[in-house]
Structure 1
Amino acid sequence: MAAVRALVAALPPAPGPVVVGVDGPSGSGKTTFADLLARSLGADGGGPDARGVPVVHLDDLYPGWDGLDAVVPRLVDGVLAPLASGRPAGYRRWDWAAGTDGAAVAVPAAPLLVVEGAGCGARACAPYLSLLVWLDGPPAWRRERALARDGATYAPHWERWAAQERAHFAREGTRARADLVLESGPRNSVGDGDPPG
């Protein structure tokens, strides 16, 4: 966590918000890490209010189990490009049970924003990201974590989603373009003493 905070603090001033992307494969701890990072950055005075730095979770934007690549334009067009140009930003939260877009969610303008989820480090997102963190871990451990988190809902889709991730990350070169690569796992932590998730 301290390494990411130091990188954020060292960023040169720029128009628009500082956007930190946290990408990596499913089960690597992105959500927990992003939430801890947002709280940590908010405690530094970077947040819009006492709630801290806003976090956009791509789990709310993926249009279904085959939607990894489709999330990129949803993120860019709905959130990243509008915030960069000072316009209101938001998205439709995906209703996983109904299989369709659900409620509208506004993303507040703030000096800092954290975006987490597989795909947020795609090349189309890169012009809007101030910093890209790649989080990974041993495949068996990641699978165990993801299935413990989402249970029977995720189990039938694990291989299908993992195949999308492999293709997407290979095509996008996400890990190689990351500013910081962090490894999570059963014996290590990425949150300065806090488990990654």
Structure 2
Amino acid sequence: MDLQELAGLVTGRRAAAGRSVVVGISGYGGSGKSTLARALVEALPDAVRMRGDDFLDPVRVHARSDDWAGVERDRLATEVLHPFREQRPGEFRRYDWDLGRFREPEPVPRADVLVLDLIGLFHPETLPLLDLTVWCDLDLATAVQRGMERDRRAGNDHDRVWNEVWAPNERAFAAAFAPRDAADVRFPTG
């Protein structure tokens, strides 16, 4: 599958639903989720991207857990996914990583398609709120290497956290929830 085929699938899903739809993009950290989400939004008319990093707890995301406990799924569902899918007004708060605090509330965007990219997204709490699920199909070792390289280019040395926390979190989440198998689409990002 390529980007145009994926965009066509999203358009078809939107038409069949008869309402705005949420496309969830997940995969291992470093697998290309954000890159794919940006490209998909550019390929679709009336689509917006919701950055998953805005829904990470800044402390818990750096701690070992078997279910990516640092992903604030309840806040994401309550503040964004429910209002968007129900086409009703809502507000959400982004976490500002540079300032170390939440930003002021902003309105939930309105569009035909909301594209959300996030680690640990294909979880029982959020899967029912996603109309199409896309897994960035890249093996964990390659994704971790890419993630570490990306962070180094940005001036962040997170190698220890990648090796001791994030990669083990990914393995445990995959064992518990089989997110690759839960995906409607496995999109090659290698």
TM over 0.5: yes
Which one of the candidate residues 152, 172, 179 is aligned to 1:174?
Answer: 179
Question: Scaled by the length of structure 2, what TM-score is found?
Answer: 0.81
Which one of the candidate residues 157, 160, 172 is aligned to 2:161?
Answer: 157
- How far does residue 58 in structure 1 lie from its aligned partner after superposition? 0.8
Mapping of 1:26-105 within 5 angstroms?
26-42=29-45, 47=46, 53-67=47-61, 68-69=68-69, 70-97=71-98, 99-105=100-106
CA deviation vs aligned residue, 1:42-82 (integer Å, no higher than 9, x gap): 2xxxx0xxxxx210111121012523334211211111011
Which one of the candidate residues 6, 16, 22 is aligned to 1:13?
Answer: 16
Counterpart of 1:194?
none
Q: Any conservation in 2 of the 1:16–1:83 contact (CA below 8 Å)?
A: no
- How far does residue 168 in structure 1 lie from its aligned partner after superposition? 2.3
Counterparts of 1:168 and 1:78, CA distance in 2: 24
- How far does residue 118 in structure 1 lie from its aligned partner after superposition? 0.7
Counterparts of 1:100 and 1:17, CA distance in 2: 30
Question: Scaled by the length of structure 1, what TM-score is found?
Answer: 0.78
Counterparts of 2:57 and 2:92, CA distance in 1: 11
In percent, how many aligned pairs have the same letter? 32
Counterpart of 1:113?
114
Q: For the structure 1 residues 59 and 84, does the alpha-carbon distance in structure 2 shift closer, same or farther, using more than 3 Å as the test?
A: same
After TM superposition, the structure 1 stretch with the greater mean CA deviation from structure 2, 134-143 or 20-29, is 134-143
Counterpart of 1:145?
146
- How far does residue 98 in structure 1 lie from its aligned partner after superposition? 5.4
Q: For the structure 1 residues 86 and 71, does the alpha-carbon distance in structure 2 shift closer, same or farther, using more than 3 Å as the test?
A: same
Counterparts of 1:119 and 1:143, CA distance in 2: 15
Counterparts of 1:122 and 1:184, CA distance in 2: 21
Q: Any conservation in 2 of the 1:23–1:119 contact (CA below 8 Å)?
A: yes
Q: Any conservation in 2 of the 1:72–1:119 contact (CA below 8 Å)?
A: no
- How far does residue 22 in structure 1 lie from its aligned partner after superposition? 0.5
- How far does residue 172 in structure 1 lie from its aligned partner after superposition? 2.4
Counterparts of 1:9 and 1:102, CA distance in 2: 32
Q: Which runs of 5+ in 2 are unaligned?
A: 62-67
- How far does residue 139 in structure 1 lie from its aligned partner after superposition? 3.1
